[in-house]
Structure formats: C-alpha cells, structure tokens
Structure 1
Amino acid sequence: MSADRINRIAVVTGGSRGIGAAVAADLSAAGHRVVLAARDAEALEHAAKALPGPVLTVPLDVTAPGAADELFGRVEAEWGPAEVLVCAAGAGASAKLTETTDELWEAQLALNLTAPFRCLRRALPPMRAAGWGRVVVVASTAAKVGAPYIAAYTAAKHGVLGLVRSAAAELAGSGVTVNAVCPGYVDTPMTDATVAAIVARTGRTEDEARAALARMQPIGRLIRPEEVAAVVRLLLDQEALNGQAVTVDGGGVQS
C-alpha cells in the first residue's frame, strides 16, 4: 500500500484500543489518513492524540442499524471515499453451549459478523469503482478451530471468515483485496476480560489465568497488538494476497 501511494484514507473500526489502536498507529506512522470509529468517544479522542498524522474520529456503535452508512458518509463528506478498511471492532463472550442465551448469541453475531458485513457492503462499491482498495477483517483463531465455552463467538468468527473468502472471490481482479488476520490471545483489554471470566469461573488467580492463556501460544506468551498490526500492513501492501486468513498465534494453529 505505501509503495503505491501514501496518504490513503484508512477506516479502522474498534480503533480506540487493542488491535485497532495498534493498526491505526501503524498506518498513521506510514503516512496515511486514519479514521477511528468506536463507541467510546473519550477513548477515541485519547487514541487520536497518539497518532502522528491526520485523524478523524467517528464515535458510533457499529452494530446499530445505519451505522455503516453514517460512518462512511461522514468519511466521504470530510475526506473522500475510504480506500482501506480494517474491521477490528469485536468482543468475545464465554458460556457453555447449553447456557448460551439468544441474547448472547445475537449480540456476538451482530458485532463479529453482521457489523463487518455491513461495513464491507458500504465500503466496497467506491473501492471497486476506483480500481483499488484493501479490506482486512480481524477474525481470530476461533475462525478456524472450535473451543469450549465460546460457541457464539466461534460461530461468528467462522462466519466472518466465510464472508472474507466470498468477497475476495467476487472482487478478484478488480484491484480490491479482502483478507483476514486470525490472532490467538493478544495482550489487549479483550484478553483482560477473558482473564476476569476465568477467575470468576474457576477461582484461579489473575496471574494463573493469564499464564494459562499465554501457554496456549507455542511461543509461551501473549501476542502483542503491534505484531498483529504488522500482518495487517502486509495484507494491505500485497495485491497477490487475497482471500487469505493469516494466523498470528505463535504456531498453535498451522494452516
């Protein structure tokens, strides 16, 4: 991407913290204009102040009806059509399958599958018309393998990987690529919430719970957000990478 032209307009959902914030920082440092979208306006402004380049903040809930139109309409009005989209907004939830409520199920699908779908649907036509665009969806290793107690999250992430692959096939040769990155446990607030859930469910200490998650990566530690951001940049830079789901977990899921 940077070799082609700097100053691209890049939209990052979930850009106020975690992987989204790391991706935004990487893109801004590379010379691109960055749009940060997330629910927490205060957190968005804090993240925006850390970026070295031009930034536009759009506080909204990506699961709300009409949110994608609001987001991309705002970007187009202020800067022009989005050229890069990174869907990093997401969250997990833990429950036994038999205790997964309809509300939990629907919330996981809304955030982790429907919101990316709506963003792709809104962002792709201008990219295709321009003959250039890059989309990366932050999925998870849960998009590739199942695990206990996260049925709704796993189903949503498997679904979003299917969305990525179908979109990539549909857009092949258009100059627009669609890929996914599939991290393991990353040192982010989302993992902090997972640690808290483990503590509440098992009685382990926070250190014990965090160490157990770290051991799930063969490298013996949590993945750093900057490591995921580096893979996102690779997917943005290469036209030959399309329809791919790159795992970033230290070698646990080999595919």
Structure 2
Amino acid sequence: MKIFEAFALSEREVVSFVGGGGKTTLMFRLAGEIPLGRNVIVTTTTKIYPPASACFPVVFWKEGLEKELAEHFKSGLKPVVASGLLKDNKLKGINAGQVSVLQNHAEYVLVEADGSRGFSLKGHMGYEPVIPGSTTILIVVIGADVLGKNLNGNNVHRPEIVSCLTGREIGSRIDAEMIAELITHPAGILRDCPSWARVVPFINKADRLKDPGEGYRLGSLLLGEKIKKVVLGSAIAENPVLDIITG
C-alpha cells in the first residue's frame, strides 16, 4: 500500500508533518506518490534542506509567484516554496497565512511544520510546532528506533521536556507508554492542532524493530478521541506501509 492510500487523502488537503524520525523523507515520499494531474506544493513553516531531485524545483515567495507555480505544474513538477535561503543552505519557511494562499493554487499543500534536529523523538517548546491553521490532516511522525533507548540528549531532542510531560526520569528506558503519553499530552505536540484536522501518527522505521509487537502496542496506545488511525511503516522502504492500526 502507498502512503497516499494509507492516509486516505481527499481531493484537497493541507497536510502538515510534525514530530521526529523522518518527516522530510516521508513528506517528499508522499509528494512523489500523488498522481500526475493533481497539483502539489511542498513547503515548510520552519526550515528544510533543498531537495536533490529536479522533480521538486525551489520557488521563492515573491510577486508573480502563481505564474511560476503554474509553469511548473504544466511540466508535471511539484514546486517547493520557501521565503529565502539561510546561511546553512536550508530553505527558510513561510508563515501560516502564506500557506493558506497556496491552497488557491494546488490540490495538495504539504508542510513540514516542525524540526527535530534528526532525532526520532522530541519535546516541544511552547512556540512549536508551527502548525498552519489551514491544516486538514496532521501527520505525527515517530521514529520507532528510539524504543528501548534511554531518555537523554543522545537519543531525544529536549529530553527534559519529555521528562516533565511524562513524569519519567532522565535516563529512563523509552517505551511505548512514554511515547504515547508524550504525544497525547494536552500540553504537547497536538495542543495547536486545528480541531477539524484529522490526526494520523506514522510510526516510521517500524521495520527495524526487533519485536514488531512494540510498534503495534504503541499504535494501540495512541488511539483515542483525536487519533482514530495509526500507520506503521518505513518511509524509505519499497513498500512504505506495513500495517494500519484502527480502534
């Protein structure tokens, strides 16, 4: 099954990606799966590295943006919109209002709305993630490779926040319960999610688990009022979706 099918995308969506452990890879994988003939824009409200593929040309926000986008769409390309280029060669993100404007030009707008410095799990400050209010589906990415590791700065971005929200001590073993408590905590990653948006966690790198049951247990613990479906998979695998967990 493709990621596009697993997320059950409708004809028009603003898909925001948050969390850690493969957001950028998953976002571009989804963008590549969306059928030709449907206009797709990729962007960020934080910052990302420019994509290597020529299928994703970079477009900087400026007057006349819509004309440049239209030209890329005619060529079957999926432009990446940014507001500028940072010193570290990353693309600078756009704001939430600009994301709403992009909705007028494409059926699908895919937004990386969080940064995790490459970690598979993250504790969030009060100003993050930067989820656009126009989001219709929020993908919460969790790197399954963090299961079984210790809660510290080597394995988790801002472990002190994870400790505060879950009540676990620094150095504790990271298990499914800890991750589920973190993701579903009222002061956590979902606090600024629009009430109408569907929330779908994607447990990435699930194919690396020594005990696949741990991935299923995490998925089951995440299910609840806001989360009706969890996808188990690997964003880099030939078959990226391993299974879908529902209530």
**Same fold by TM-score greater than 0.5:** no
TM-score by length of 1: 0.43
Q: Which structure shows the bigger proportion of residues in strand conformation?
A: 2
TM-score by length of 2: 0.44
Q: Which structure shows the bigger proportion of residues in helix conformation?
A: 1
